[in-house]
Structure formats: C-alpha cells, structure tokens
Structure 1
Amino acid sequence: MPRVHVSVLGAGAWGTALAALASAQADTVLWARAPEVADAIARHRRNPRHLSDITLPQALRATADFGEAMGHVLDAPTASLIVLGVPMAGLADICARLAQDLPTRRAGPLHLLWTCKGIDPDTLQLPHQIIAAHLPRRPWLHAGVLSGPSFAREVAHGLPVALTLAAGQPDTGAVGQAVYHGTQARIYTTRDIVGVEVGGALKNVMAIACGISDGLRLGTNARAALITRGLAEIQRLGIALGGRADTFSGLAGLGDLVLTATGELSRNRQVGIAIGEGRCLEDILAGGMTAEGVRCARAALALGRRQVIDLPITEAVCHVLFDGLAPREAVAALLSRDPRPE
C-alpha cells in the first residue's frame, strides 16, 4: 500500500503518542488546538502540556490550523486516515467541526478512527453513536475504533503495544494496519465496534473498583476477584448491546481491563486507591486527577438498567463515588450478595 496520509486531531497524551507512532510509517500531521503547543512541537520536538519529557520524531509535523490538518488528508493522492485523539467529552465538538470540512462527494474512501472510551452521561450513547449523530452520512467515509491495553506514555517511549481496530469495512482495518502495524505495534482487526467500545468504557469503572480494593489493602485475591467478575459484568452488558462474546476475552476486553486495573500509570486505578485510602472524590478531582471511569460510571449503570442487566460492581462504585457509601460497606454489600453459579 502507498504511504498513507494521516491527520491526528487532538494533541493530548494519547493523540500525541498515536501521532508519533504513525509518523514512523505514514505522512503524519498532528493538529493541536493551542498554537503554542503546535509551535513547541515544531521547534523543540516536545509537547509542553502532555508527555513533555519525551522527544517526538522529526518526521512528525504539527499545526494549529484545522484547515491545514484537514487538507493534508482530503487532498492526499493516496489513502487517507483521520484519527480523533480526543476524550469522550470532546468527541461531539470535534465531529461538529470536522463535519464543516467534509465534502459532499469524494472519489475514494476517507478513513476515520476514534480512540476515546466511555459512555455519554446525558444521552447514554457510545462513541460510534455520537459520531453518527454529528457527522453527515457519506458512503465514502469509512469509520472504526482503535482500542486496547495501552498507556500513552509507554507508546510514546517506543515500547511494544497490541491494539484492536474494529471497523465495518475491511479496508479501514487494512489502512490502520498500514499506518500502525509492524513498528512497535501489532494491530488486530474485528468488525465488533460495539463490543470494543463497551470493553473500553467499563474497564475504567472496574479499574476504580480495583483501586478502591487496593487502597483498602484487601489484597491480590480481592483484586483478582474484581477483575474476573468485572469482566463478566462488562461482557453481560456488551452482549446485550449487540457485542460479540469473544471480543471480551481479547485485547479490547480482558487485555484493557487487566492493564487499567493493575497498571501504575492508570488514572482510574489511582482515583480508586485515593478513595480507598479515605480521600473524597471532590478533593481528588480538584487536585487535577481526571479519570474517564468517574464520568462513565453513572452512565454505565443507567445503560445496564435500561437493558435490565445486573451490574453490581458498577452499582457499588456509583454508591461510593456519588452517594457517600463508605468503601468498606460497599465491599461488604458485594460479599453478602446471594450465592449463585458462576
């Protein structure tokens, strides 16, 4: 396949890491909302706001001009890929901005990948539903999600990673593999967008639960139980929403859950640890620590109730985060549930 043109929209930690990774095999531009960030990357090969201690590749270009970033892919003579490197909270806005630049007609496909993980707290929509609501329908716009066990810092440092790319059209998987597969990354493809998205969203909630357990010093047995039963909880909701069972035993399910529930770089786990050690959520968030699982927990519980799916760990996390339930009482409530077959 000829060299792909890639525009990564969003210069947060994950957007920066994915842009750096893509630049090894593709002609890559990183769009930063702030001009000073784009200028710092161009001049000093550093993102001053995210991963600021990591030197970015010389091949990576940066711009604060949205039109320039879009022109890079829309006017490219070869295959083109847009990567949305924004969190859930910014997905609708970036899609609305992107919609203004998309043409009504195009000769060949334009590929789009999103990387955010979560459930919208107001609409209970998954990312693909938000994108469908905010982007015009174009037969040549081929979209998918890139997910799996990955810390941005490790990817930016050049350490190995394996990810799942879920898309409706096989050519999107092929383009994603041409960009990312074979340097430090392995990219596996699937068509199960819903399963990949549910795995990515709920693993953050389960990581908070595991962090609370670790903060309470409940031991590795308890952590293993939470990971295992948490995975069953994720799978129940995912299947109810149309996901495939086998997705949850793969990278986007078990792999992402294990990483986020045990990794030292996991913000969701760190929030849980702080809560288990007795700090209140308001103080934790006021200190600058953010975690998608906090934003996702209530939405996941509401979505489960809509589907009449039992999500006991998610419910316990919500009670601790938002209702003032003491973490030890939440653990006791989980342990006192009626026995049942696995």
Structure 2
Amino acid sequence: MIQTNIDVKTTRIGVVGAGSWGTALANLLAHKGFSVAHWVYETDVKEQMQKDRENRRFLPGVTLSENLHPSGDLEAVVADKDLVLVVTPSHVTRETMSRCGSAIGDRTIVVSASKGIENKTHLTMSGVLSEVIPGLSPDRLAVLTGPSFAREVARKVPTVVTVASSDADTAVFVQQVFVTNYFRVYTIEDMIGAELGASVKNVIAIAAGVIDGLGLGLNTRAALITRGLVEIRRLGLAMGAQPRTFTGLAGVGDLILTCTGDLSRNHTIGKQIGEGKKLNDLLAEMHMVAEGVKTAKSVYNLSRKLGVEMPISHAIYHLLYEDLDPKIALHQLMTRDLKQELDEI
C-alpha cells in the first residue's frame, strides 16, 4: 500500500478546466478522498456534471466522485487552496488565469497539466502562469506530464507520469497528492525540458498520423518517432533543458504514446489530413482541442528564432498553415542533404 504524508481531509484543491484531461485528474483526486473544487467553463457541462455526475461532452461514461464539486465561479475555485491544478487549453491559459490570478494565495502550489507553447510569446505554460499570477515564485510551481490518455486514467488503467519542479519539496508534495496504486508519479527538476517534451510531441504526433493516413509502414513511423525525438531534444537544449529529460516519461514516453495511440487527437487529425481532408474542416468538427495544431506555429517560429534545425516540425507547419501536400512534404524530408545521424551534444 502506498503511504503519503498528505491529509486528504484537510488539503484543499482547486482544478481549473473540465476537458477530458482536467476531468480525469480532478476525478482521480476526488476518488482519492480530496474535496475538489472544479471550475467548468461551459454552463451546460457544469450543470450536467452536477446533476448526473458525468461529463458527457468531454469524458462520457465515467462516473464522477461525490467529492468533485463543479462550479462556474473561477475565483472561488482557486481561492484559499493548498494546490491549484491548471488544465486549460494552452491558447486560453493566459486569459483564464489572468482573471483569477490575484485570488491565488501566496502559499498555494500551482501545477500545470496543460501542454503547449504560446504563439505570441513562445512561453511554455509555466512561463505564462508566472506572468499572470501575482507573486508566483518558482518554488511554488510544478508541471505534471507524461504518457497518459485521459480516458485510460479515468478507467484506472496503470499509468506512470512525472512531476517537474525546480523545488524538490514542491515536487514531492505534488507527487504525494497525485499518487495512487494505479497512477504512479516520479519527480524531476527539469521543468522546461518536461514542458517542451509535452508540447512538441504533439507536433510530431500529427506527423505520425499523416504517415498512417498515407498508408505507409511501420519502418516510416519508427524513423519519424526517432527523428522527432531528436528535434525535441535540439529545441530543449537550446532553451536550457537537461538532455536526459528527453529519455524519460516527459520525452520518449509521451512521444511514443501520442504517436501510436488511437486516443491521440493529434495523431487522429494528422491521419485525416494524410487521407486528404482539410484542416479547417477537421477543426470545425472537433469539440476538443488538438494542441499540436497551434503548437506547430509556435515551434516553427521559435526554432527559426533560435536557429534550431527541426525539419519534421517545419514540414508540419507548412502542411497545416500553407497547405503543403503531404506527399510532397514526405519527399522533401527523404531527399534532404545526407549527414551524420547523431548530434555532437
């Protein structure tokens, strides 16, 4: 039996965001015994969660714990909490948390489980939170990431993730809050590496989907995942990340899952593009966010700014935003100048 030092009866938790991942994590904590205040953006979703104990729009078929308390009052959800978990789509994190940042106490631990890089600033979500939450110091900030589909976590499928924080005590506190006998949590110090792994893998997952949509083979997918990891590592090193982070759960672990799993929205949208569908049509049909679409633009611009070579990521940008034909993109990647495989660092 896992032992922790966290008192589930007195530890106060707020969760911001009720998509599939936010709901799965909030429900995990509630089932563990915490009383969880849960901010839900959509009024109809909130009311249905309260009445039927189910989030049918984003996580259908999963019964919600009675310890989970959906609310439309954002400030009340984050005020007077020991831990606030942020699980909003990356492109609305700044606006959402700006509305409630002043309500977060000066002792509250803030954990980001959102995956993305802001288009205009090229900040990861921890950087955004640091800007919009007054007085948020690095020792109160953490990132939760790793290979984890929301639906499988909600079904209590054994899952292993990592918590990244520059403060060891904060990392251990968050680890103890989230760990269960089916949700194992490790800790690392490299927050920027963890966030880049979590974000850029979504772009590579779109590329993996395109490969499957084109009807190509397992050889191609394996090459794509391997070279995609190289690109993630290159960008990470340019931004001060630790190289070994990308060999762990936040790097290769999350990359493999998202590039191969049928539950990946990014892989799905890439596959449909490979089959000939148009991005705008696909986005119009989706009610959940495929983070890789927006992150592709951030990665393209950031890598050019830093002078980091990321040919797969650039191809996905051109495919998504300039309507490059997937077959032409593949040909361009396969006929690039020959070179050594391994980077020097």
Fold shared, TM-score > 0.5 on shorter chain: yes
Distance change >3 Å, CA 5–CA 220, structure 1 → 2: same
The one-letter amino acid of 2:68's match is: L
The one-letter amino acid of 1:287's match is: E
The one-letter amino acid of 2:291's match is: E
Structure 1 distance, partners of 2:104, 2:283, is 37
Q: What residue number does 1:291 align with?
A: 290
Q: What residue number does 2:203 align with?
A: 205
Query: For 1:11, which of 10, 15, 18 is the aligned residue?
Result: 18
Q: CA deviation at 1:139?
A: 4.8
Kept in 2: contact 1:110–1:141 (CA 8 A): no
- Deviation string 1:301-329 (CA, Å, 9 cap, x unpaired) is 11111111100001111121122221111
Correspondence list, 1:53-202, <5 A:
53-71=61-79, 73=81, 80-103=82-105, 106=106, 109-139=107-137, 142-202=140-200
Percent identity, aligned pairs only, is 39
The one-letter amino acid of 1:137's match is: G
* SS of 2:66 mapped into structure 1: coil
- Deviation string 1:128-183 (CA, Å, 9 cap, x unpaired) is 22112211124597011111111111111221211111112222212212221133
Kept in 1: contact 2:190–2:242 (CA 8 A): yes
Structure 1 distance, partners of 2:199, 2:265, is 14
Distance change >3 Å, CA 158–CA 335, structure 1 → 2: same
* SS of 1:188 mapped into structure 2: strand
The one-letter amino acid of 1:227's match is: I
1:331 aligns with 2:330: yes
Kept in 1: contact 2:27–2:68 (CA 8 A): yes
Runs of 4+ in 1 over 4 A off after TM superposition: 138-141
Distance change >3 Å, CA 336–CA 110, structure 1 → 2: same
Structure 1 distance, partners of 2:209, 2:154, is 25
Q: CA deviation at 1:248?
A: 0.4
* SS of 1:164 mapped into structure 2: strand
The one-letter amino acid of 2:29's match is: A
* SS of 1:200 mapped into structure 2: helix
Q: CA deviation at 1:24?
A: 2.8
- Deviation string 1:92-123 (CA, Å, 9 cap, x unpaired) is 022212223135xx5xx311101111111122
Structure 2 distance, partners of 1:140, 1:234, is 24
Q: What residue number does 1:39 align with?
A: 47
Question: How many corresponding residue pairs?
Answer: 332
Structure 2 distance, partners of 1:331, 1:67, is 48
Structure 1 distance, partners of 2:181, 2:192, is 28
Kept in 2: contact 1:7–1:69 (CA 8 A): yes
Unaligned runs of 5+ in 1: 74-79
Structure 1 distance, partners of 2:137, 2:39, is 25
Structure 2 distance, partners of 1:169, 1:84, is 18
Unaligned runs of 5+ in 2: none
Structure 1 distance, partners of 2:162, 2:193, is 11
- Deviation string 1:269-290 (CA, Å, 9 cap, x unpaired) is 1111111111111221122264
Q: CA deviation at 1:46?
A: 0.8
Deviates more, 1:149-158 or 1:40-49: 40-49
Deviates more, 1:192-201 or 1:178-187: 178-187
Kept in 1: contact 2:102–2:134 (CA 8 A): no
Structure 1 distance, partners of 2:79, 2:128, is 24
Kept in 2: contact 1:110–1:140 (CA 8 A): no
Distance change >3 Å, CA 207–CA 43, structure 1 → 2: same
Structure 2 distance, partners of 1:208, 1:123, is 23
Distance change >3 Å, CA 177–CA 24, structure 1 → 2: farther
Structure 1 distance, partners of 2:41, 2:279, is 29
Deviates more, 1:217-226 or 1:172-181: 172-181
Deviates more, 1:246-255 or 1:181-190: 181-190
Query: For 2:31, which of 17, 24, 28 is the aligned residue?
Result: 24
Correspondence list, 1:256-275, <5 A:
256-275=254-273
Q: What residue number does 2:307 align with?
A: 308
- Relative to the length of structure 1, the TM-score reads 0.92
- Deviation string 1:41-73 (CA, Å, 9 cap, x unpaired) is 233211232112211122322222234323451
Q: What residue number does 1:76 align with?
A: none
* SS of 2:160 mapped into structure 1: strand
Q: CA deviation at 1:35?
A: 4.0
